[in-house]
Structure formats: C-alpha cells, structure tokens
Amino acid sequence: MILREPKPDELAALSALCLRSKAHWGYPADMLEAFAAELTVTPRDLAEDAIMLAEDKRGVAGLVQLSKQGEDAVLEKLFVEPDRLGEGTGKLLYVWACRVARENGARNLRIDSDPDAAAFYEHLGAMRSGTAESGSIPGRKLPRLLHPLG
C-alpha cells in the first residue's frame, strides 16, 4: 500500500468512493442524497487541505482529508472502499493524518464522526468531546471526538 496525493482528474471518482463508503452503513437514499455535497471532494479542497490516498495494485482503497482550524486540525474526510474494510487502510490513513497534524503544530485532531465510525476513532486514541451539528442534515447530532497530539 502506498500513500499519494490525488490528481485533479480523480476528484469525481474520489467523491463517489466517499458516497459508497457512507452507503455501507445502510443509510436510506434520501439521507445519502443529503450527504452528497459534504462528501464531494472539490478543487478547493485539493488546493487548501492536505488530502492523501491509499492505493495498491487493486486501485485506490481510501482517502483522508485534513484541514487546520485554529490550534486544531480537523479530519474532514476518512473513507475506505467498502470491500476493502478490515485491511488496515483506515488505520494507515488515520495515522498519517495524526502525524501531519502534529507536524503542522496542531494540538488536537478534531473529528465530527459518523455515529457508526466513532468506535474506530476511539480505538485509535480519540476521545469523546460532546456533539457537533451535521453539515448535511439540520438537527442531526454527530459525536465529536478529539485526539490529543501532544
């Protein structure tokens, strides 16, 4: 497995990967449609954030997107192809995000997690820190987690 930066012509395919990964949790079509904008990887994301792909001979297995907000880094996206879950791709990308955030001076990695993914982040050292408003569905609360980087 190698890590590499995405190319601009891959953004549509990466957005589709995010949507497939989200769909793995059994969300109905109307919720997936509501999530679509938030799951889209844009040229602006590519220009402003740190984005990394995990890829092997079978293709792109997952992606991670990291931004900086104040003293914290924010895990904007971490998605793995559903048929690649359990292979270690998510952990590889998460460890990369923590390392890059730490190297860039972040004190914490903040994660507004899908409820089904929170246990994954907790297993890797993140701790619950309240809730956050969904960026896609008004009134929906998400677990907020913090991973101390110090």
- Where in the chain are the domains? 2-107
Instruction: Answer whether residue 17 shows pLDDT above 90.
Output: yes
**pTM for the whole structure:** 0.94
- Alpha-carbon gap, residue 122 to 124, rounded angstroms: 5
As a CATH number, domain 2-107 is 3.40.630.30
Q: Which tokens belong to 100?
A: 């890059």
Residue 45 confidence class, pLDDT cut points 50, 70, 90: very high
**How much is the pLDDT for 150?**
84
Task: Give the Cβ contact number of residue 37 at 10 Å.
Answer: 11
